[in-house]
Structure 1
Amino acid sequence: MLSPSSPADAVIAHLKSLRAEENLAGMARFGIETKTALGISNAELRRIARSIKRHHARALALWASGIREARLLAAFTAEPEKLTLETARLWAGDFNSWEIVDGVADIFVEARLGAILIPEFAADQREFIRRTAFTMIAVSAVHLKDEPDDTILAWLALIEAHAGDDRNFVKKAVNWALRQIGKRNAHCHGPALSLARILAAASDRTARWIGKDAVRELTNSAVLLKLKV
């Protein structure tokens, strides 16, 4: 049985014992990189993370293994107060799947690295690193309740600047970030909806898709009722 004191090699051995080859094809259909995957579900990984708890040195060793499931566990069990910019950049350089990006973005945000990494990653031409910037914006809009709204709204400029990036995993993250800012609260709703409408009328096809989809959600009656706008 795994426990909070289990070392990385024991965790990895346990993961390998759970290998489920039959799940790999399904993962691949969802755009998950399966070259180093064992086929273990995220639900099972979350269960394991709860049993082994946070342990930063072990998380670093799990990431270094290169195994998809070990890397997700690294993100789930790293200690945010110990996560450095150097480590975050190192991990980002290894990103090869939208799933890994979205699994790791939470810890980057929890470590309060967004002020530096979001603009840095948005400027990076690599698809998954740029996706990370906008995933972090989306996560921040939802989870950083104590962050001033103006800090979150400032990211709208990056959304507008990169709304023309037509790469699938980037445009979906840009759209996600815009929608999450707009749903944060009534104060954020107006500026996000205004930008969505600007993008919806853009000549660029990708920006237009991002804008129209965001307008559709931000004008949904359920959203308006929840925000009381």
Structure 2
Amino acid sequence: MKEIMSELQSYPSEKYKENVVRLGIPRESSMGVPMISIRKMARKVNKNNQLAWQLWETDYHEAKLLATFLSEVNKLTYQDINRLMSDVISWDLCDHLCKELIFKLHNYLEFVLEWVKSSKIYYKRAAFTLIATSVIHEKDIHTETMNVYLSLISNYSQDSHVHVKKRCSLGIKRNRETEL
């Protein structure tokens, strides 16, 4: 764990940190490590939930992003996912958590159906991120599933928060692009 944190702390960029802070990540929670460096590190380290939880608990934004790549999806529980989501304070962490972990769970649709109704910004964003990820990556998506998604988008996408609104519009745009 110490080696990984040391390596993470060897990649900082003040310019990148300022960009992240501008997007809403608290300065004290950011090291300023670019995503390309986090992805490079993730390829060198074996998946390990214990390590992933240790990284998550550091409260550093970049360590949490790395944790999403190192988690063993098949060992995560419903409670684990809710615990992770309760700590999300940024759109990028929300999206990575959804794409790298939650979408890979066989029951991710349960989260969509629960979170789409939430008043919590990142839970609602997560629901729309999962919908968009599903439409993009599931090659054999059923018409009935698409109809459920369209109904959810129609009923719950009227949210004024920019991080929800933006995800809804991106999901709808990508959805239209895949139909063409």
**TM-score, with structure 1 as normaliser:** 0.72
Equivalent residue for 1:73? 66
- Is the CA contact (8 Å cut-off) linking 2:11 and 2:33 kept in structure 1? yes
Shift of 1:147: 4.0
Shift of 1:17: 2.9
Task: Determine the C-alpha separation between the residues in 1 that align with 2:3 and 2:107.
Answer: 30
Number of matched residues? 178
Greater relative contact order structure (CA < 8 Å, 6+ sep): 2
2:49 aligned with 1:56? yes
Q: 1:100 is aligned with what amino acid?
A: L
Equivalent residue for 1:104? 97
**TM-score, with structure 2 as normaliser:** 0.90
Equivalent residue for 1:179? 173
Task: Determine the C-alpha separation between the residues in 1 that align with 2:81 and 2:151.
Answer: 23
Query: Higher mean Cα deviation, 36-45 or 159-168?
Result: 159-168
SS across alignment from 1:40: coil
SS across alignment from 1:124: coil
Task: Determine the C-alpha separation between the residues in 2 that align with 1:37 and 1:69.
Answer: 7
Equivalent residue for 2:144? 150
Task: Determine the C-alpha separation between the residues in 1 that align with 2:34 and 2:89.
Answer: 18
Query: Higher mean Cα deviation, 82-91 or 151-160?
Result: 151-160
Equivalent residue for 1:14? 7
CA RMSD of aligned residues (A): 1.7
Compared with structure 1, are the counterparts of its residues 9 and 124 closer, same or farther at alpha carbon in structure 2 (3 Å cutoff)?
farther
**Aligned with residue 124 of structure 1, among 118, 123, 126:** 118
Q: Which runs of 5 or more structure 2 residues have no equivalent in the other structure? A: none
Q: Give the % identical residues.
A: 25
Once the two structures are superposed, what CA deviation does each residue of 1:146-175 show, in whole Å capped at 9, x if it has no partner? 443432331111111123211111111111
- Is the CA contact (8 Å cut-off) linking 1:138 and 1:180 kept in structure 2? yes
Runs of 4+ deviating beyond 4 Å = none
